[in-house]
Structures are given as C-alpha cells and as structure tokens.
C-alpha cells in the first residue's frame, strides 16, 4: 500500500491518522529498532510546539545503562538527494540541547507535517523555526511531509529548511513533490532526502543517534500499521 492523497480529507481526519502513526513509530523504535540505552516517546506539547504536531523524541539515559550497540553508518545511507552544508552553518550552534525531556537528553526528533503547519505563514514559520533550532543544537531532525508544496514552501519542506540554514537546495522532481528527509548533525550537516508522490511506497530512512550512527526507520511498515486501525468508514474517501 502506498501513500494516500491526504488532501482529499479535512485536516482533523489526517490528525487522527497522524496520532496512530506516531504511536506505531514509537512502538517500533522501542521494540528492538533502537539500542537498549535509547528510547522513543511521543512529545508532550510545550509553549514552543506547534499545537497539532506530536514529535517523537529519542532520549539517552545515564551512561551506566548502556547495554547495546547502534547501527554504524557504513555503508552510508543512500537516498535520491544527499546534500552537505558548509561548515559555517554551525556558527550559531550553542553547547546545549534546546529541546529536552525530563528523563534524558533528546538526540533526535521526528516530525510528521500536518496541514495546520502550512495553513498560514505564521504557523509555517513556527514549524520552520523549531526544525532549525533542533538542527542548530545538534539534535538530529527527521521530517515526513505528505502534503504538496504551498506558497509557504513552494519548493518543498526540505528546500525551506535548507535555505533557512543559508544553503542552496536542489529542486524536487516535478512528479514527486512530497518529502521525507533526515538530517545528520555533527561537524557538518548532511541531509538525506527522498522525494515521493501519492501512491509511492515510503522508503526506509536513517534516524541518526549521533554523528555517523543511525538506525533504520521502517516508514511504510509503520504507516501500514496506522492505516490498519484507521476507521473503516473513512477509508473509502482516500481510496
């Protein structure tokens, strides 16, 4: 089963699916995908969070709890677009993590874009500002955008993020205007981007735990799990 056309339904109906997908992603990451000393939690809402977005946060407990390894980035992840930022992207980076969880430091965040994130310039600017803060503070960022570009992001979400960092972005293919992107932070910033379209299967993507270390997130499998419990009465509107 490929990506559905979520522009066919109201934002609230996507939000219901969004909620299930976040739960599926969190469960999958905590069921052997992540090493034993990492865990995933749906993000609690905060004053800086966009109200209709839940963020998956990966936190690290104390060092003595380390009991497992992580996937090493050899070979490097392969996506259709790979871009590396210039070193001065990190000129404003502070020695702290802006986003925290009471149980540990956040090392990565997953955001599933909702229609509300693009509904106005101010809402989009809020979302973009949060994404840039994650990246500039060495929190690996992972974005899933199943909605087409708007006047707020005419070249797609990755272009908006990349240009917000002062970089020049490659154009998305004309036939694939939806985006999945994973950002590896470290001495330099690398973006792994897969353009997708309605009907495509979602790719497995790297989620970086630190520089050069990642786990693979099964996006299509978790999407299918969320779809399997989506209300049957609503499914015909998307098929």
What DSSP line would sit under 168-220, residue for residue?
A: --PPPPTT--EEEEEEE-SSS-EEEEEEE-TTPPPPPEEEEEETTEEEEE-HH
Domain region containing 203: 6-231
Mean pLDDT, rounded, for 107-115: 88
Which carries the bigger pLDDT value, residue 185 or residue 230? Answer: 230
In a domain, 1, yes or no: no
pLDDT exceeds cutoff 50 at 99: no
Cα dihedral sign, 207-183-209-98: negative
**Does residue 92 surpass a pLDDT of 70?**
no
pTM to 2 decimals? 0.82
- Whether 184 is in a domain gets the answer yes
Residue 237 inside a domain? The answer is no
The alpha carbon of 21 is separated from its chain's Cα centroid by a whole number of angstroms, namely 12
In-domain check, residue 238? no
DSSP 96: S
Please enumerate, as own/partner, the contacts of 93-101 that have beta carbons within 8 Å and a separation of 24 or more: 93/136, 93/137, 93/138, 94/137, 96/137, 97/137, 97/138, 97/139, 98/133, 98/134, 98/137, 98/139, 99/57, 99/133, 99/134, 99/137, 99/139, 101/41, 101/57, 101/59
Cβ(108)–Cβ(152) below 8 Å: no
Predicted pLDDT of residue 176:
94
Residue 108, domain member (yes or no): yes
Per-residue pLDDT tens for 162-172?
A: 999 988 887 78
pLDDT value at 87 more than 60: no
> Does 80 have pLDDT greater than 80?
no
Whether residue 165 lies inside any domain: the answer is yes
User: Which stretches within the chain are classed as H helix?
Assistant: 11-28, 121-136, 157-164, 219-228
Residues 141-158: pLDDT tens digits?
Answer: 999 999 999 999 999 999
Mean pLDDT confidence for 10-25: 90
Q: Are 117 and 124 in contact (CB under 8 A)?
A: yes
In a domain? residue 84? yes
Within-domain flag for 24: yes
Q: Between 212 and 159, where is the model more confident?
A: 159
| Cα 131 to Cα 108: distance, rounded to the nearest angstrom | 11
pLDDT of 54 over the 90 cut: no
Sign of the alpha-carbon torsion through 100, 101, 103, 108 = negative
Q: Could you tell me the two tokens for 19?
A: 């909620």
Q: Does residue 119 register a pLDDT over 60?
A: yes
Identify the weakest region by mean pLDDT among 10-24, 60-74, 223-237. Answer: 60-74
Bigger pLDDT: 40 vs 92: 40
Question: Which DSSP letter does residue 74 get?
Answer: S
Count up the domains in the chain and report the number: 1
């Amino acid at each position: 089963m490929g990506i559905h056309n979520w522009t066919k339904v109201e934002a609230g109906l996507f939000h219901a699916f969004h909620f299930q997908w976040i739960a599926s992603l969190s469960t999958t990451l905590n069921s052997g995908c992540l090493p034993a000393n990492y865990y995933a939690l749906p993000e609690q809402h905060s004053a800086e969070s966009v109200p209709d977005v839940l963020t998956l946060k990966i936190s690290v407990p104390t060092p003595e709890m380390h009991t497992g390894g992580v996937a090493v980035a050899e070979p490097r992840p392969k996506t259709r677009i790979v871009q590396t930022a210039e070193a001065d992207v990190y000129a404003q980076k502070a020695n702290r993590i802006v986003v925290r969880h009471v149980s540990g430091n956040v090392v990565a965040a997953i955001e599933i874009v909702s229609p509300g994130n693009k509904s106005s310039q101010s809402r989009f600017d809020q979302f973009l500002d949060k994404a840039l803060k994650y990246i500039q503070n060495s929190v690996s960022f992972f974005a899933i955008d199943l909605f087409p570009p708007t006047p707020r992001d005419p070249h797609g979400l990755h272009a908006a993020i990349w240009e917000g960092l002062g970089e020049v972005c490659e154009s998305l293919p004309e036939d694939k205007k939806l985006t999945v992107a994973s950002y590896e932070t470290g001495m330099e910033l690398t973006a792994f981007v897969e353009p997708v379209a309605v009907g495509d299967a979602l790719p497995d993507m790297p989620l970086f735990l630190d520089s050069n270390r990642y786990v693979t997130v099964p996006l299509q499998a978790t999407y299918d799990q969320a779809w399997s419990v989506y209300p049957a009465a609503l499914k015909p509107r998307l098929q």
